[in-house]
Amino acid sequence: MSLRKATAVDALPPIAAGAMVVSVIMYPADVVRALCMSNPGTSPAAAVKGFVEVHGYSGFVKQGLAAEVTRASISRGIKFFFQPITHKMAFGKPETQGTPITKGLAGALATFPEVLAISPLENIKLASQLDKDKRFNGVVDITKHLVRTRGVVGGLFIGYFGMQVRQCLWTGGFFLSLDFIKGNLKSMGLSNNLAVDVIGGFTAGAFGTALNCWTDVCRSVIQKQAVAETFDAAIPRPSAIQHFMPGPFFGQAASIFQAKGMTGLYAGVGPKMIHLGGSGALLAVLMPRFKTMWFDMNGIQN
């Protein structure tokens, strides 16, 4: 069978499959992360205890699972699809020939279409995960409530600026460091490719977390407060433009720092390290292997 040259679209099916597998596996860690970050100072153990008391252990499957799997699959799929395309457009050469800096910058640029796509699902998922009073009855009910009380943009794009900064920092940090870390592991004598991918992916994911944890705390607090205010009819509907402006985001960061210092800004960093470090490890293992299998199955030459 003759092989045909791969196009960018050929990479979509394996990227989508890898992204979905990672999203399902890492969902419980995402729940704990969201609880800790939206309530700075809450320990992971206390967050899990409170969540289980309200929703039971089945809540780790029911509360926002569909929204999160959809959101995270789209998010990871877009970034891995657009990162090599962005690299080629920005730097005039394939991503495989880039430096850590160019790979990181291409990753950061690839997050702009990603965040536009996932923002509604991010807000729906967070509202579900933080619904300790059981005010909502599923994803559709959350969506209707947010749109009815705050409008399409104002309800579904809460915390947009913070999410954009968050994704730029993590994705840029991940792509900047992944190949650099894997190369160093091999130079240190680690020859098992699977081990290199697991350790390299986890470390790169954890590095991205170190860069972006504070942004996730700030946008989680903003989103939690904004959703809570939708139930108070006395509070005027705020302008949707504020979600795209840096002022409210950095104002929230300053407030958290003033009240709780750096520990407040890095609330939930442990669960987030596990969530995104584990995600990085799985992505580093699954993406190239799924791609190789798909290309082999369909007679595609990379």
pLDDT tens digit string along 18-60? 988 988 888 888 778 777 877 777 788 887 788 788 778 777 7
Task: Give the pLDDT confidence score for residue 44 in this predicted structure.
Answer: 81
| Whether the Cβ atoms of residue 180 and residue 100 lie closer than 8 Å to each other | yes
Res 145 pLDDT > 60 = yes
Indicate the domain borders of the chain: 8-301
Task: Give the pLDDT confidence score for residue 275 in this predicted structure.
Answer: 87
Grade residue 71 by pLDDT with cuts at 50, 70 and 90: confident
Grade residue 84 by pLDDT with cuts at 50, 70 and 90: very high
Q: Give pTM, 2 decimals.
A: 0.84
Write out pLDDT tens, residues 197-255: 999 999 999 999 999 999 999 998 998 899 889 888 888 899 999 999 999 999 999 99
- DSSP-derived letter for residue 92 is S
Grade residue 1 by pLDDT with cuts at 50, 70 and 90: low
Residue 11 tokens, joined: 């990479």
CB atoms within 10 A of CB 162: 28
Task: Give the pLDDT confidence score for residue 284 in this predicted structure.
Answer: 92
Task: Give the pLDDT confidence score for residue 175 in this predicted structure.
Answer: 96
Task: Give the pLDDT confidence score for residue 62 in this predicted structure.
Answer: 64
200-212 b/e (C-beta count within 10 Å ≥ 16 → b) = bbbbbbbbbbbbb
Q: What is the phi/psi pair of residue 163, to 5°? A: -65, -40
Q: What is the phi/psi pair of residue 14, to 5°? A: -65, -35
The chain-wide mean pLDDT, for the chain, equals 89
- Give the burial class of 257: count Cβ atoms within 10 A of its Cβ; 0-12 exposed, 13-18 middle, 19 or more buried: middle
Percent of the chain at pLDDT > 90 equals 55
Res 63 pLDDT > 90 = no
Task: Give the pLDDT confidence score for residue 64 in this predicted structure.
Answer: 64
Superfamily for the 8-301 domain: Mitochondrial carrier domain (1.50.40.10)
